Amino acid sequence: MTHAQSSSSTFDPAAKVFRLDGGRVTYVFGVNSRGELQQLYWGGRLAGSDTFPAAKPMPEWSSFDSSYTTTPQEYAGWGSGLYVEPALKVTFPDGNRDLVLHYESNQPTDGGFDVVLKDIQRPIYVILHYRIDAGSGMLARSATIENRGEGPVTIEQAAAAAWALPPAHYTLNYLTGRWGGEWTLTQEAIAPGSRVIESRRGSTSHQANPWFAIQAGAPDEDHGEVWFGALAWSGSWRITVEQDQLDAVRVTGGFNPFDFGYVLHPGEKLETPVFYGGYSSDGLGGASRLLHRFELEHILPRTAKTAGQTFPRPRPVIYNSWEATEFNVNEAGQMALAEKAAALGVDRFVMDDGWFGQRKNDHAGLGDWYVNPEKFPHGLKPLIDRVHSLGMDFGLWVEPEMVNPDSDLYRAHPDWVLNFPGRPRSEQRNQLVLNLARQDVRDFVFGFLDKLLTENDIAFLKWDYNRNWSEPGWDQLPPEEQKRVYVAFTRNLYGILAELRQKHPNVEIESCSGGGGRVDLGILRYTDEVWPSDNTDPFDRLTQQDGFTYAYTPQIMMAWVTDSPHWLNKRSTSLSYRMLSSMQGSLGIGANIEKWTPEETALAKRLIGEYHKVQATIVQGSLYRLISPRNGSEFSATQTVNADKSQSVVFAFIHSTQEGRGFPRLKLEGLDPAAEYAIRPIEGKARSDTPAQASGAWWMSHGLDMDVDFRGDFQAAAFRLDRK
C-alpha cells in the first residue's frame, strides 16, 4: 500500500467550493445557488490542478421530486419538502418544525474545515467538522448543533454526517449477528428504498455493527472502488443507506432517532458522534487494510509506556479463567491455573467473573465490588503477587454498569437503575442497568474502579456489559428531558474510561459485552482490545474473524483457545487447529489447562513461542483474505505482510475435504516481487517440492502449494516467510 502521505484542504471563495485531499482520496463539496451545502465528489485523488465549478442544485425532476430532495446535501435539515433521510430534525416551542440550513461561514482547522450552517430564519446553528488523514485519506465528520435562540428546541434526529454517491450499481456490505454469532458479513445489491442498520438497545449491539462498505458493482476482495464508513458511537445508533428515486445513494448515520428527543436549551450545544469515511480503489481488501491502519494509528489509545508510538503494542498473550472455572474462582484454584499458564509462556493472567460480593452464580453480587472473603480470605494480593512472581501481569473482570437486584448496592439504591417509576423492571441475566447518566452513579462507578486500581497492582480490566436496556427512564429529570439518557449515558461511559486511563496511565482495558456487543470506533478510543464473541468454537471463529476484520484490525481481536469438544457446537477439534485459529488474531488461552496432557502443553508452548515471534506481522500487518471461509467453503486462508514487507505469515484451514480435492494453490500478495523470501512452517508442511527460498514474484505469481496429505476435517497449517 503506497500513500501519497500528504493532505491539504482548500476553499475557493469565488466558486464557494471546499476540497479535502489525503492519501489517495479527494473529497469536494460546495455551496449551491440556494445556499445549501452540496456534495460534489468523493473518490480517487485528483490532480492539484483540477478545479470544480460552483455547486448547482439538481433540477426539479417533477412536482413530486423537488430539487431539495434530489440534491445531495451534506447536512440537510428537515424542511422545504425534503423526503429523503434528514440529517437534522427539530421542533421549536411554537410548533414550527421546518428547518432549512444554509451556509454562513467557514474556518480552516487542523487537517480540515469547520463549516457553519444556520437556519434561514432562526438562530439554530450547525457547525460541521471535516478532517482528512494525510496517510489514509480517511475523513472524520461530525456536527455541533447550537441553540443561540431564546427558547428550547427539541432535537428529534441528529446525524453525524451524510455521505452521497452518484447513481450506479452498488453492493452494500454490513455486519450482522446475534449473541454467539456476531460478525456475519451480509452482502446485497443496493435497491430502491432504504436499508436501515441500527441498534435501539442503548449500546452498540451484537445484532448489527455501525460499519458499512459500498462497492461499485459486485463484491470483490482485490479490485474495484469501495466507499466505507464507521460510526464512533457506543449508544443507540442508526445508519440508513437509501437509493432515491433517481438512483443516487445516500448514507446517513448518527444518533438513533428512535425514541430520541434532546431538549437543547438556549446557549446549549449537542455534539454528534464522529462518522469516519474512507475510499479505496483496491476492493474490500484494500478498504479494510486502510481502516486497520487508521485504527492502529489514530483511534486506539496508548498507555504511558507506548505514548507517541505509531502503533499500540501487540497484545500480551493472555490466560483467562472463565471457561475453566466460571464463577468458581478462589485463591488456590487461580494460583494453580496461573502456574500452568506461566509454563506455557503466557504474558498476562486474567481472573474473570466470580471474585467479588456474593457472586456464586449470575443471580447475585453485581454492584458489590468488594473481594469475596470466602474465596480470597487475604484479598487479591497473594494471587497478584504469585502471578507477578511467575513473570505475568494481572488482569481482572468487572461489569461496572450493572447491578443484580440481589446485591447490597441495589438494596441501598433501587433508584439508580434505568426505570419508569411504578412499571416493572425487566431483568436480563438477572440484572438491571445502572443509569450511568446520573452523576451519583457515575461517581460511584469511577470511585470503585479507581479504588480497585489504586489498591491493587492491576494491569488490565476486562470491562463487561451483559445486557441491553429496557424501560430507559431517568426519573430525576422532568419527563421532556429524560430522553437525554441516550446521549448522557454513553458520554459518561467515555468520560469514566478517559479519567481512569489518565489516572492509571498504564492500565489496559478490554471492551466486552457478552462477546462482541460493544465494538465500535467510539469505545475503541478508550479500550485496547475487544472480546469478539463468547463463541470460542475454532471453526465458527474463522468466519467470525473473517467478518470482524472487514471493519476492525486483528490487533484488537482477542481469540482464546478453549476446550474440545466445544461447549456450543459439541465439535471436537485438535489443539493444533484451535491454536492456529486463535493465532489469526490476538492469542489467548481459555481452556482448563490443568487437564492438558504433557503433549498438549508442549504443543501450546511451542506455538505460543512461534506466535510471539511473528505476532506484530499478524495483528498489525496488511491483511489479505486469500480464500474466504464464508458460504460453506471447504477451505480458507489468510496472509499478512508487515509494513516494510520483510515478513509475511500465511494461515490455511480445511473445513472438510470432499472428493479428494487438494488445497488450492495460494497465490500470495503484498510481497516485494524483487526480494527473496525463505519459507518456514510454523505448523504443518508445504508440498515437498516447495523451494526453501524464492522471490516475492515466485510466491505471488507461482504460489504456495500445501502438502499432498493436507486433507481431512478441521486441519490447519501456518507458514512464515522472511526476506533474506
Active-site residue numbers?
Answer: 464, 534
- Binding segment for ligand GLA (CB under 6 A), chosen from 42-50, 445-453, 512-520, 573-581, is 512-520
Nearest CB to ligand GLA, comparing residues 281 and 430: 430
Q: Is the dihedral of CA 154, 157, 162, 168 positive or negative?
A: negative
Chain length of the chain: 724
Contact call for residues 321 and 396 (beta carbons, < 8 A): no
Tell me how crowded residue 275 is: count the other CB atoms within 10 A of its CB: 28
Q: Is the dihedral of CA 320, 395, 301, 641 positive or negative?
A: negative
**Hunting for cell 428527543 — which residue is that?**
261
d(CA 363, CA 683): 44
Nearest CB to ligand GLA, comparing residues 119 and 464: 464
Fill in the per-residue mask, 310 to 339: x = in contact with ligand GLA (CB under 6 A), - = not in contact: ------------x-----------------
CB of 451 to ligand GLA, least distance (A): 21
353 binds ligand GLA (CB under 6 A): yes
Among 221, 242, 347, 464, binds ligand GLA (CB under 6 A): 464
Nearest CB to ligand GLA, comparing residues 22 and 405: 405
Contact call for residues 42 and 19 (beta carbons, < 8 A): no
CB of 234 to ligand GLA, least distance (A): 16
Nearest CB to ligand GLA, comparing residues 293 and 359: 359
DSSP 256-310: --TT--EEE-TT-EEEPPEEEEEEESBHHHHHHHHHHHHIIIIIS---TTTTT-S
Task: Report the amino acid identity of residue 387.
Answer: V
Please give the grid coordinates belonging to residue 489.
449515558
463 binds ligand GLA (CB under 6 A): no
Among 520, 528, 534, 669, binds ligand GLA (CB under 6 A): 534
d(CA 375, CA 352): 13
Contact call for residues 100 and 63 (beta carbons, < 8 A): no
Nearest CB to ligand GLA, comparing residues 119 and 352: 352
466 binds ligand GLA (CB under 6 A): yes
Nearest CB to ligand GLA, comparing residues 162 and 432: 432
529 binds ligand GLA (CB under 6 A): no
Nearest CB to ligand GLA, comparing residues 446 and 560: 560
β-strands 586-589, 318-320 pairing: parallel
- Please give the residues from 152 up to 191 whose contact with ligand GLA meets the rule CB under 6 A: none
Residues 6+ apart with CB under 8 A from 473: 418, 419, 420, 421, 423, 482, 485
Residues 6+ apart with CB under 8 A from 550: 173, 175, 185, 211, 213, 284, 287, 288
d(CA 500, CA 232): 20
- Binding segment for ligand GLA (CB under 6 A), chosen from 118-126, 452-460, 508-516, 538-546, is 508-516
CB of 560 to ligand GLA, least distance (A): 9
User: Which residue number places its CB atom closest to ligand GLA?
Assistant: 353
**Bridge partners, residue 43, by sequence:** 26
Among 410, 531, 550, 635, binds ligand GLA (CB under 6 A): 531
- Binding segment for ligand GLA (CB under 6 A), chosen from 62-70, 271-279, 507-515, 712-720, is 507-515
d(CA 658, CA 590): 32
Nearest CB to ligand GLA, comparing residues 514 and 684: 514
494 binds ligand GLA (CB under 6 A): no
Nearest CB to ligand GLA, comparing residues 280 and 466: 466
CB of 398 to ligand GLA, least distance (A): 10
3-state SS, residue 253: strand
DSSP H/E element including 172: strand 170-176
295 binds ligand GLA (CB under 6 A): no
Please give the grid coordinates belonging to residue 13.
471563495
**Hunting for cell 428531558 — which residue is that?**
481
- Interior/surface letters 629-638, b for 16+ CB within 10 angstroms, e for the rest: beeebbbbbb
Among 277, 514, 547, 670, binds ligand GLA (CB under 6 A): 514
CB of 470 to ligand GLA, least distance (A): 18
Nearest CB to ligand GLA, comparing residues 473 and 515: 515
352 binds ligand GLA (CB under 6 A): yes
CB of 322 to ligand GLA, least distance (A): 5
Chain centroid, CA 161 distance in Å: 18
d(CA 461, CA 424): 32
CB of 401 to ligand GLA, least distance (A): 13
Residues 6+ apart with CB under 8 A from 291: 136, 138, 228, 230, 278, 551, 552, 553
- Binding segment for ligand GLA (CB under 6 A), chosen from 36-44, 251-259, 453-461, 511-519, is 511-519
User: How many chain residues interact with ligand GLA (CB under 6 A)?
Assistant: 11
CB of 582 to ligand GLA, least distance (A): 15
Q: Is the peptide bond before 565 cis (omega within 30 degrees of 0)?
A: yes
Among 84, 452, 512, 614, binds ligand GLA (CB under 6 A): 512
CB of 536 to ligand GLA, least distance (A): 9
- Please give the residues from 384 up to 423 whose contact with ligand GLA meets the rule CB under 6 A: 397
CB of 395 to ligand GLA, least distance (A): 12
Q: Report residue 451: phi and psi, to 5°.
A: -65, -45
Where along the sequence are the contacts to ligand GLA (CB under 6 A)? 322, 352-353, 397, 464, 466, 512, 514-515, 531, 534
